[in-house]
Amino acid sequence: MGRRRRARGRALDGVLLLDKPADRSSNAAMQRARVLLNGAKAGHGGSLDPLASGMLPILFGESTKFAGGLLDADKTYVTTAQLGARSTTGDLEGELFDTCPLPQDLADAVSTTLPRFLGDIVQTPPMHSAIKQGGVPLYELARAGITVEREERPVRIHTLDCLALTDSTVTLRVRCSKGTYIRSLVEDIGSAMGCNAHVSLLRRESVDPFDASAMVTLADLESARDAGPSESLDRFLLPLDAALCALPIYQLENAAERGVFQHGNLLDVREQPVPDESPMRVYHDGDFLGVAICRAGRLRPTRLLKRPETSN
């Protein structure tokens, strides 16, 4: 008897802002959400470590075409730094070393150190990260006891605020550019204070352009699924163009222009006040069709949605 074919799930488009729990990997959380919504295709807009909780944008169907914008977006984190020692993993999962005494005036040390990390800085990615070297993720090398040289990378810290202090911890809110490693930032701040530090808590509060107000938990999804069919969970989805709200809108004038655009061809827009090299969302009759850029007076599609199939 042949193997039964696995159901593919529903053709579902949209963005789910999942509040990932701290006990799951990003992929495991995404797959659980996909199963609950019975979606055929899903991806996420930037992974979180299993230690971290918070916003994990999950993109369903055609929304996956716009994941790049979320990967490049600014993000906001809340993290608690445990002071007094470094960790082999940069967080609670590793072994502690380089134990140091804490500053006598911790509040003063924090207030004088944090401004040094605002703006453009360089970081060395931690060994326990997903960056690949020779095709192998660094964390796999680290688990094998192998340490390799890593190139410094520029990042930008937009804001860095102290939210709370205890005798041995400092809780920070960090708004930063893509590619920022919060564990590395905490380690560097601890070193600059002369007491060393590692992450004991990490939560992502937002991924531009989204804020926390629309986040849902796996428990929310499971409760909704228990109360009704998977279609009832669609109310948690944001529109598939929600991640692109910062882009200006270009409205096509008629069905003929729509046909040209949806076939990937150029549109002459020299009669329109459209600046060159300006990416924009393209719509017709209320339908989002994709993203385009204007060059030399012509609108060039860069990401198109799949056209619905028509029956003969």
Catalytic pick from 13, 19, 49, 91? 49
Please state, in angstroms and rounded to a whole number, the distance separating the CA atoms of residues 34 and 223: 15
Contact yes or no for 58/43 (Cβ under 8 A): yes
Please state, in angstroms and rounded to a whole number, the distance separating the CA atoms of residues 285 and 292: 17
Prior bond to 209 cis, omega within 30?
A: yes
Instruction: Specify the amino acid at residue 287.
Output: D
CA neighbor of 236 nearest in space, from 254, 256, 253, 221 = 221
Cβ-based neighbours of 246, under 8 Å, separated by 6 or more: 208, 209
- No. of helices (H) and no. of strands (E), the chain: 7, 17
| Cβ neighbours, 10 Å, residue 116 | 12
**DSSP code, position 126:** P
C-alpha distance across the termini of the chain, in Å: 36
Contact yes or no for 193/83 (Cβ under 8 A): yes
Question: Rounded to the nearest 10 degrees, how much is the dihedral formed by the CA atoms of 31, 281, 179, 151?
Answer: 120
Please state, in angstroms and rounded to a whole number, the distance separating the CA atoms of residues 146 and 159: 34
Please state, in angstroms and rounded to a whole number, the distance separating the CA atoms of residues 68 and 3: 36
Contact yes or no for 281/247 (Cβ under 8 A): yes
Residue keyed to tokens 């069905």: 255
* 49 classed as catalytic: yes
Q: Which residues have a catalytic role annotated? A: 49
